[in-house]
Amino acid sequence: MFSGSRITVGVLGVTLLSGGLIVGTTAAHADVYWTTMSTIGTADSDGDGANPKFIKKRAVAPDALAVSGNHLYWASSGNVKRGSIGRSRLDGTRANPAYLPGIRSPLGLAVSDSYLYWSHGSKISRAKLGKGAARNVSANFISGLPSGTTSLVVDSQHIYWIGSSTSGLATIGRANLDGSGVDSDFIAADANITGLAIDSDHLYWSRTDSKTTTIVRSDLAGGNITDLVTGLPKHLYMGIGVNSKYIYWTAPGLWSGLKSVMGRANLDGSSPDQQFLSGSQLVPGGSSWQTMLPGLAVTD
């Protein structure tokens, strides 16, 4: 996500100045966006007006979300010729699920003022944003990563991602915006990491051990790693998003056997609300066959 306009995004833990939430300054007011198995939902940043069917037509399996300017972007790993990246206005109009079609299994998604980035397999790809369709696609913008990447975020200097190091541990990687200076072991960890997000000063992610999930923060140099929200139920996949006031997280129930919920806390981790949104606020009708996915974005 481009931190200049404070955008957040999340997918299987993806976040653009948040992954798996997005933040943008052009919205009329702050909003939260999230993904379910077949829809994109929205509410305002205080949880009012929740609509889990905000975008429902042809938005099949939207895995990741990102926001930039007046547009919402989503990655779908199983839609339109193997996968695609869709786009709509922030109010949900002019939804185009094949804004960038024929993308193989996109998982992570991030966007800046000029470029759209997505992860698939051991690669990160990039395309130039224009007035119409994206162009100048660079499929191998960053390649040869040790294993598949998931969440992506960007700021004015770097692109960050969640993947694995050559030793097999979960890591946060980093590269310059031109794709140079790849460091797959920028931040290493000994537990499951998902839900990357970024703001002008910090990176945020979730860390899951054998018992619980914790929301963690570091500075942009990868130092001063701090646990912010502790003791959350164990979730293998989460989306993380931030704006100028709050941290948001999605806790999908699909893989954990728990109910899907969205949580919120202050930026310092205080006053956590583990069920900020839940049930039919999150998934269409609250039906058991539907579930929340980790994709998350928040506007400021």
Write phi, then psi, for 125 (nearest 5 degrees). -110, 165
pTM, whole model, 2 decimals?
0.88
What percent of the chain has pLDDT above 70? 83
Eight-class DSSP state of 11: B
pLDDT in tens, 86-102: 999 999 999 988 899 88
Q: Rounded CA gap, 13 and 196, in Å?
A: 6
pLDDT per position as a tens digit, 128-165: 997 777 888 999 999 998 777 889 999 999 999 998 76
- How far is it, in rounded angstroms, from Cα 47 to Cα 83? 31
Domain-wise residue ranges, the chain? 3-298
User: What is the band of 285 on the pLDDT scale with cuts at 50, 70, 90?
Assistant: confident
Round to whole Å and give the CA distance between 192 and 105: 21
The alpha carbon dihedral of 217, 223, 224, 227 has a sign of positive
Query: Higher confidence at residue 2 or residue 117?
Result: 117
Query: Looking at residue 124, what is its pLDDT?
Result: 95
Q: In terms of DSSP bridges, do strands 202-208 and 212-219 run parallel, antiparallel, or are they unpaired?
A: antiparallel
The residue ranking higher by pLDDT, 45 or 236, is 45
Cα(119)–Cα(121) distance, integer angstroms: 7
The mean pLDDT value for 250-276 works out to: 86
Per DSSP, the three-state class of 217 is strand
Tell me the percentage of the chain whose pLDDT exceeds 90. Answer: 51
Q: Give me the chain's average pLDDT, please.
A: 83
pLDDT in tens, 188-237: 876 788 899 999 999 999 998 888 999 999 999 999 999 999 999 888 78
What is the reported pLDDT for 103? 86
Q: How confident is the model at residue 298 (pLDDT cuts 50, 70, 90)?
A: very high
Fold exhibited by the domain 3-298: Neuraminidase (2.120.10)
Q: Is the pLDDT reported for residue 125 higher than 80?
A: yes
